[in-house]
Structure 1
Amino acid sequence: MKTWILILLLCLAPQVVLAPPKTFADDQPYLEVTAPANRKLQLLVAPPTILSGAAAPEVAKELADLFSFDLNLAGTFALAPAGTRPDNADLVLSTAYSASVSGLTVECRLFDRALNRELTAKRFTGTLKDLRRIGHAFSDEVLRAVTGLRGPFTGKIAYVVKSGRGKEIYLMDYDGRNPQRITNNGSININPDFAPSGREIIYTSYKKGNPDLFRRELFTGLEARISARSGLNATAAYAPDGNRIALTLTKDGNSEIYVINKEGRELARLTHNAAIDVSPAWSPDGRRIVFNSDRLGKPQLFVMDADGTNVRRLTTSGNYNVTPRWAPKGDRIAYARQESGGFQIYAINSDGTGDTQLTTAGSNEHPRWSPDGRFIVFSSTRDGGSALYIMRADGTGQTRVSPGKGGDSHPCWSAPW
């Protein structure tokens, strides 16, 4: 088997209660932006106040810091400096809370000063361990109120962590908080991918000796081995319907792309080529698949219909283009291109135009879109060891989110929880 595919495969790898939002008229579901087009909306994150009971400075600080991080990353807003008067901001995000050992209540409001009205408000109840989820949920709501599209901040990121001589799958909040180990078998576990629901993942594991495909429910921990065909069962990706999975199999002696159902029953073989075909990724409508192939000599990206017909080359620049992923809107495909010194992340229109480099520092690989298409999460060596970063879809705002000191790679971003 060729060197590049070996490298690709072996290196991979309590209820919060939300009260109904108080919003303005149903016929105006989101804010008509009132700021000039050449500047961002000035957003003031006001210091949280107390609803009742004793003050909890740590709660107030965590909420304020969380809102600032989320909404600064969004790129839609310019955060007003501390001490800014509310009447000098376009939008004001205010929060009030009551916190005790037994429970937590948080009320959040977004006010538009120019329109002189409240755009959205929500009341959350839970416990102190739900604090960050509550904050991310309102950040999602702020983006919905301003842009019409909900934010991705309550989604989770699954990723691979180097652990001794093995690799394990972990799960964390999108901003790197609350990491938890999902696999613990001391083997090599790679290529996690979320089901559209965000409630389960598939991944490849060598824990039984062969690189087999497993499906795991995240809330129950129930797991099933769904593809144990001879050879590789790898680079698997859920279809948008959640019932089909595209993956790479070598059971017939060559690396080909197949489709199976979520129980593992084979549905179709899509590629029939002497070349190496790997890393399938579905278009959002489930009608097309982008994949890697070296059928022209070096790895390039190709697109085919979901039944394997109408194959066409997508990338025409670069000699080594790998790991594609389709944007949720269907208009762009992110991928990694090998260049001198490592890999860089690019994005290209789904018709092959607009090929654009997004990263420059370090070696950057394995791009995955946020569920709303605003962001891309990827791995990078820019600070030494491999770590996870997030950037906006245009490459701006690159921010490290890895909770570890190195050895984190192959991220994927779930739908909001």
Structure 2
Amino acid sequence: MKLKMRDTSGYLREAALAALIIIGLGAAARSQTPSPSPTATPGFSDIFIVNVKNERDGIRFSQPVKITTFAGYNNQPSFLPDGRGILYTSIRAKQADIYRYDLRSGATSQVTNTPESEYSPTLMPDGKNVSVVRVEADGTQRLWKFSLNGGQPSLILEHIKPVGYHLWIEDHTLALFILGAKAKPNSLQIVDVPTERAEVIAENPGRILRLIPHQNRLSFVHKISDQEWIIKAFDLKTRKITTLIKTFPGVEDYAWMPSGILLMAKDAKLFKWNPAIDQDWQQFADFSQAGLKRITRITVSPKGDRIAMV
């Protein structure tokens, strides 16, 4: 099966060249960090791959191919910098661990195997370790690191908690989604790792934190109210926040292509927003005919040749 898409601009054609899409099924799937309670099991989600070819008459997507075989929660994919593998979270027997899928061989290997639960795997700037949000035995959520070569894990931030999601800005700087407590809202914080000094940037952020390509800015969703969610940009130098574009109602997951095109999904449709030419979201692809119902997470490989969705 081929899904033919209209080529809206040469800029988009270049950005989507040889893209790869990974799509998770199931409207009940949850992409946020689940409750640490052993009785709380998130919904099922699978990961699919769709090859994309850029042709003269448009962009073509292949039939989705499922890459996960375990029937359960498979989520939070994160590309390795070389584009050859994907790290993701899988919950098996009520235990969340990190797995690695090799895009060349199709093999899956387990990265962590601990009594605790690990979520949101992200390769660290050193290229040797993976940072994760770890739900410890007492329910504490802190940021830990695991070596790709094995060995014992270690704490990255001892005192900052509870961590929900994270993004590496530099080797010594993190952007953190900190869960609210005692009537305090969730917050977006910039943290200096050596000193654990934290700066609160915004309250009520969404879970997705991204660096904007070719800019010294960080993007996040600001949940102003239940009805108004806006993607905003935080300038890491001037510390100023500017508005980019509204999200679809109830949708907070998005990703940047290396070319600067923003992607967001609604149901089975993928939309793009090019800040240079688009006033609003433009439909990019429709996967409903392939049997997909709801896309819940998006991430893009470093080279922009692959896109992951759950």
The answer to whether the 8 Å contact 2:86/2:102 transfers is yes
- Deviations 1:292-321 (Å, cap 9, x if unpaired)? 003572111112235563322222xx4344
The answer to whether the 8 Å contact 2:88/2:100 transfers is yes
Which residue in the other structure is 2:148 paired with?
262
1:173 Cα shift?
4.2
Which residue in the other structure is 1:379 paired with?
265
Which residue in the other structure is 1:389 paired with?
271
The change in CA–CA distance for 1:357 and 1:214 in structure 2 (over 3 A counts) is: same
Q: Which of 274, 293, 307 matches 1:406?
A: 293
Which residue in the other structure is 2:177 paired with?
292
CA distance in 1, matches of 2:195, 2:69: 36
Q: Secondary structure at the match of 1:271?
A: coil
Amino acid at match of 1:390: K
CA distance in 2, matches of 1:208, 1:221: 23
Among the aligned pairs, what percent are the same residue?
Answer: 14
**Residues 316-355 of structure 1 aligned to structure 2 (within 5 Å):** 318-329=203-214, 331-338=216-223, 339-341=225-227, 343-351=229-237, 352-355=239-242
Amino acid at match of 2:272: I
1:248 Cα shift?
0.2
CA distance in 1, matches of 2:124, 2:279: 29
Which residue in the other structure is 2:47 paired with?
169
The answer to whether the 8 Å contact 1:336/1:364 transfers is no
The answer to whether the 8 Å contact 2:230/2:243 transfers is no
The one of the two structures with greater contact order (alpha-carbon pairs below 8 A, sep at least 6) is: 2
The answer to whether the 8 Å contact 1:170/1:180 transfers is yes
| Farther-moved stretch of structure 1 (395-404 vs 285-294) | 395-404
Q: Which of 294, 302, 309 matches 2:196?
A: 309
The change in CA–CA distance for 1:240 and 1:402 in structure 2 (over 3 A counts) is: farther
Which residue in the other structure is 1:154 paired with?
18
Higher strand share: 2
The change in CA–CA distance for 1:354 and 1:320 in structure 2 (over 3 A counts) is: closer
Q: Secondary structure at the match of 1:257?
A: strand
**Residues 5-404 of structure 1 aligned to structure 2 (within 5 Å):** 69=7, 71=9, 74=12, 139-140=13-14, 151-162=15-26, 166-173=44-51, 177-178=61-62, 179-253=64-138, 254-266=140-152, 268-273=154-159, 275-283=161-169, 285-294=170-179, 297-307=184-194, 309-315=196-202, 318-329=203-214, 331-338=216-223, 339-341=225-227, 343-351=229-237, 352-370=239-257, 372-380=258-266, 385=267, 387-393=269-275, 396=279, 398-400=281-283, 401-404=285-288
CA distance in 2, matches of 1:292, 1:234: 13
The answer to whether the 8 Å contact 2:159/2:196 transfers is no
The change in CA–CA distance for 1:282 and 1:153 in structure 2 (over 3 A counts) is: farther
The change in CA–CA distance for 1:330 and 1:289 in structure 2 (over 3 A counts) is: farther
CA distance in 2, matches of 1:393, 1:270: 36
- Deviations 1:211-249 (Å, cap 9, x if unpaired)? 111011111012221123333311122234543222100
Alignment root-mean-square deviation, CA:
3.1
CA distance in 2, matches of 1:391, 1:152: 13
CA distance in 2, matches of 1:184, 1:268: 31
The change in CA–CA distance for 1:176 and 1:170 in structure 2 (over 3 A counts) is: farther
Amino acid at match of 2:22: A
Amino acid at match of 1:313: V
1:199 Cα shift?
1.3
Q: Which has more radius of gyration?
A: 1
The change in CA–CA distance for 1:308 and 1:73 in structure 2 (over 3 A counts) is: farther
Q: Secondary structure at the match of 1:408?
A: coil
Amino acid at match of 1:279: Y
| Farther-moved stretch of structure 1 (173-182 vs 203-212) | 173-182
Q: Secondary structure at the match of 1:355?
A: strand
Amino acid at match of 2:18: T
CA distance in 1, matches of 2:259, 2:197: 26
The change in CA–CA distance for 1:171 and 1:243 in structure 2 (over 3 A counts) is: farther
- Deviations 1:252-284 (Å, cap 9, x if unpaired)? 53011122222454554123347421211122x
The change in CA–CA distance for 1:353 and 1:223 in structure 2 (over 3 A counts) is: same
Amino acid at match of 2:7: F
- Deviations 1:358-414 (Å, cap 9, x if unpaired)? 1244222122221x251222333xxxx464332225774523334235221111112
